[in-house]
C-alpha cells in the first residue's frame, strides 16, 4: 500500500483526497500558490508546500510537482481533476521518477486525450460513434465537404479539448467558415494544438456518462450511469445518478459499452465514458481519464468509495468488487454551487464569504473547501461547493434537493443555488423528461426573485454584527 501521496490539486477535490488518505492511513502532502495560502486543503493535509506567488503557474508545472514529490518522500501523486489530471507528460514524468501516478498510464491518456484517436479506438471496438471525420481536418475545404456529407448542424471540436472549450456548433456553411478559424485559435491558446475534427451535431440529446473502475489485473467494472443533461454552454450544472430517463435495457447496454471501451484501450484506474443518446441511438462522445467532479453521486447510490479504489488500484491491488457485487439504490443529485450570477449572464461573483452555513440532515452531503471568511480568488474555477442529496425515489430526491438548497446560507457572493430551485420546480424536470436543450429552452427560469426571507435577512444582520464585534 502507498504510504505518502502528494495531491497535485486544490479546492474541494484536494480536501476529498486528503480525507480518503487519512482513512487509509496514508500521509497527504498539499501544494498551493499564494492565493491559496489559507485554503482548506492546505490546513487539512499532513504537510503543505508553497509553489510561489503566481496563482496558476505552480499548479501547471509538471516537473516542479514531480520533483517536490521526490524531495518530500512521496511514493504517489493524485492529480484530482482539471489542471494536470489528463496531462500525459505529467504521468510520464511520474513513471520516469518511480512515482505512482494515481490514474491510467501515460500512453492511455495520450490515446484518449486525442479525441480523433479515441474515436478510432471506439470504432475498432465496435462502440458506436457519431458520423464525422476519420481523423483531424486538413483544412476548411475538407470541413465544408464533410459537413455537406453528414448534414448540418455539425460540431467543430478541438482534438485535445475539454471542459466545454474548443467546441462550436455550425448550422450552415457560412457559420462553419466563421467558426473554423475561431476553434483553431481557441484550441491553440487553450491546449497548445491547432488540430480539430468534425462530427455530426446530435441536437438536444441526453448526455449520459458511465463510471468505470479497472485494475492492473484485467478486471473492469462499471458503477452505472449519471445523467448530465442539465447543462449550460457545455458546462454541467446538475448531475443525477442513475438517469431517471433510461430503461433497464438501455442501462445495461451503456454499461456494457463503457466496459468494452475501457477494455479496448487497456484502461486502468477510475474513468468515465460519455455518451449521447437520442431516441434509441447511442453514440460515444469521449472518455475522461480521471476522477469526475460528479463522482459523488455514484458513490451515494452504490456505496463504492471511488477515490479509495483509485488509490488501491494504483498500489497494484485488485478491485474490491466484481460486477455482480455492484447494485444501485435510490437516486442522487449533485448541484454545482458556483460563484456566479445567473441573472447577469452567469458572470463570476468572486469575493469574501461573509457567512456560510452548510445544509445537513438525512441524505445530504457537501463537498467543499470554503468557510466563513474565505476569499474566493478570481483565478480558478467558480465552483464553491458540491451539494449532493440522496433519496429512495425520484420525487423524494427532488424534494430533498429543494430542502437542502433552502437550508444552505452563503452570503457575500452571488451563487447559482436559487436558480437550481427553479429548475427543480419545473414539471419537465420533475417528470424526468429533459435533455441538453433544457436550460436554453427555459430562459423564464431566470426570472426569479432575489428577495430573501426574513430568516435570511436576520442571519445577514447577525453576520454583520458578529463581524463588527469580532465575535
Tens of pLDDT, residue by residue over 438-449, are 999 999 999 998
211 and 164, same domain (yes or no): no
159 and 252, same domain (yes or no): no
What CATH code is carried by the domain that includes residue 163? 3.30.1490.20
Provide the 3-class DSSP secondary structure of residue 470: coil
| pLDDT at 280 > cutoff 60 | yes
Report d(CA 198, CA 140) in Å as an integer. Answer: 11
345 and 309, same domain (yes or no): yes
383 and 327, same domain (yes or no): yes
Domain residue limits at 175: 131-200
The 165-170 sheet, strands edge to edge? 165-170, 154-162, 196-200
Confidence of residue 464 (pLDDT cuts 50, 70, 90): low
Report d(CA 471, CA 463) in Å as an integer. Answer: 9
Residue 120: inside a domain: no
- Among the listed residues 16, 206, 290, 312, the single catalytic one is 290
| pLDDT at 149 > cutoff 80 | yes
| pLDDT at 193 > cutoff 90 | no
Report yes or no: 333 and 244 within 8 Å, Cβ to Cβ.
Answer: no
188 and 241, same domain (yes or no): no
Residue 14: inside a domain: yes
Write down which residue in 145, 173, 200 finishes a domain: 200
Report d(CA 405, CA 417) in Å as an integer. Answer: 6
Write down which residue in 200, 215, 236 finishes a domain: 200
359 and 232, same domain (yes or no): yes
| 62-66 contacts, C-beta under 8 A, 24 or more apart | 62/87, 62/89, 62/90, 62/93, 63/93, 65/6, 65/8, 65/31, 65/90, 66/90, 66/93, 66/94, 66/97, 66/99
Question: Which grid coordinates belong to 89?
Answer: 507528460
290 included as an active-site residue: yes
74 and 145, same domain (yes or no): no
Confidence of residue 113 (pLDDT cuts 50, 70, 90): confident
| pLDDT at 469 > cutoff 50 | no
| pLDDT at 164 > cutoff 90 | no
User: What total number of domains does the chain contain?
Assistant: 3
pLDDT of residue 190: 80
Closest CA to 193 of 206, 183, 201: 183
380 and 233, same domain (yes or no): yes
The pTM (predicted TM-score) of the whole model is 0.91
Residue 100: inside a domain: no
336 and 354, same domain (yes or no): yes
297 and 320, same domain (yes or no): yes
Angle at 455 between CA 454 and CA 457, to 5 degrees: 60
Q: How would you classify the pairing of strands 206-214 and 269-278?
A: antiparallel
Closest CA to 222 of 149, 97, 328: 328
12 and 143, same domain (yes or no): no
Amino acid at each position: 500500500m502507498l504510504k505518502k501521496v502528494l495531491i497535485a490539486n486544490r479546492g474541494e477535490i484536494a480536501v476529498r483526497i486528503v480525507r480518503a488518505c487519512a482513512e487509509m492511513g496514508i500521509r497527504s502532502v498539499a501544494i498551493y500558490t499564494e492565493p491559496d495560502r489559507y485554503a482548506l486543503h492546505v490546513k487539512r493535509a499532513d504537510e503543505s508546500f508553497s509553489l510561489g506567488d503566481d496563482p496558476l503557474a505552480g499548479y501547471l508545472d509538471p516537473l516542479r510537482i514531480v520533483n517536490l514529490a521526490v524531495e518530500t518522500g512521496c511514493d504517489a501523486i493524485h492529480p484530482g481533476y482539471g489542471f494536470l489530471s489528463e496531462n500525459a507528460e505529467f504521468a510520464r514524468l511520474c513513471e520516469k521518477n518511480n512515482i505512482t501516478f494515481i490514474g491510467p498510464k501515460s500512453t492511455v491518456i495520450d490515446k484518449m486525450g486525442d479525441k480523433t484517436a479515441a474515436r478510432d479506438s471506439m470504432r475498432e471496438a465496435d462502440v458506436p460513434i457519431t458520423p464525422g471525420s476519420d481523423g483531424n481536418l486538413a483544412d476548411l475545404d475538407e470541413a465544408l465537404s464533410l459537413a455537406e456529407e453528414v448534414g448540418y448542424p455539425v460540431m467543430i471540436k478541438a482534438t485535445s479539448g475539454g471542459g466545454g472549450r474548443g467546441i462550436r456548433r455550425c448550422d450552415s456553411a457560412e457559420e462553419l467558415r466563421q467558426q473554423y478559424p475561431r476553434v483553431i485559435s481557441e484550441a491553440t491558446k487553450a491546449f497548445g494544438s491547432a488540430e480539430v475534427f468534425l462530427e455530426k451535431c446530435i441536437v438536444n440529446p441526453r448526455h449520459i456518462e458511465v463510471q468505470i473502475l479497472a485494475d492492473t489485473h484485467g478486471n473492469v467494472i462499471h458503477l452505472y450511469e449519471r445523467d448530465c443533461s442539465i447543462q449550460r454552454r457545455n458546462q454541467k450544472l446538475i448531475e443525477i445518478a442513475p438517469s431517471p430517463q433510461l430503461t433497464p435495457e438501455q442501462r445495461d447496454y451503456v454499461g456494457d459499452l463503457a466496459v468494452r471501451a475501457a477494455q479496448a484501450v487497456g484502461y486502468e484506474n477510475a474513468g468515465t465514458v460519455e455518451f449521447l443518446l437520442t431516441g434509441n441511438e447511442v453514440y460515444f462522445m469521449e472518455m475522461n481519464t480521471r476522477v469526475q467532479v460528479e463522482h459523488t453521486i455514484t458513490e451515494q447510490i452504490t456505496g463504492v468509495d471511488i477515490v479509495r479504489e483509485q488509490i488501491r488500484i494504483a498500489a497494484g491491488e485488485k478491485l474490491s468488487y466484481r460486477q455482480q457485487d455492484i447494485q444501485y439504490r435510490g437516486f442522487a443529485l449533485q448541484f454545482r454551487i458556483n460563484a456566479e450570477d445567473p441573472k447577469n449572464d452567469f458572470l463570476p461573483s468572486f469575493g469574501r464569504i461573509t457567512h456560510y452555513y452548510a445544509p445537513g440532515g438525512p441524505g445530504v452531503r457537501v463537498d467543499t473547501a470554503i468557510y466563513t471568511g474565505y476569499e474566493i480568488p478570481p483565478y480558478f474555477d467558480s465552483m464553491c461547493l458540491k451539494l449532493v442529496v440522496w433519496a429512495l425515489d425520484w420525487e423524494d430526491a427532488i424534494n430533498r434537493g429543494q430542502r437542502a438548497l433552502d437550508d444552505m446560507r452563503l452570503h457575500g457572493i452571488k451563487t447559482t443555488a436559487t436558480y437550481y430551485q427553479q429548475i427543480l420546480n419545473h414539471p419537465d424536470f420533475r417528470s424526468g423528461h429533459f435533455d441538453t436543450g433544457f436550460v436554453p429552452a427555459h430562459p423564464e427560469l431566470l426570472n426569479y426573485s432575489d428577495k430573501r426571507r426574513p430568516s435570511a435577512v436576520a442571519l445577514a444582520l447577525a453576520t454583520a454584527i458578529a463581524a463588527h464585534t469580532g465575535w
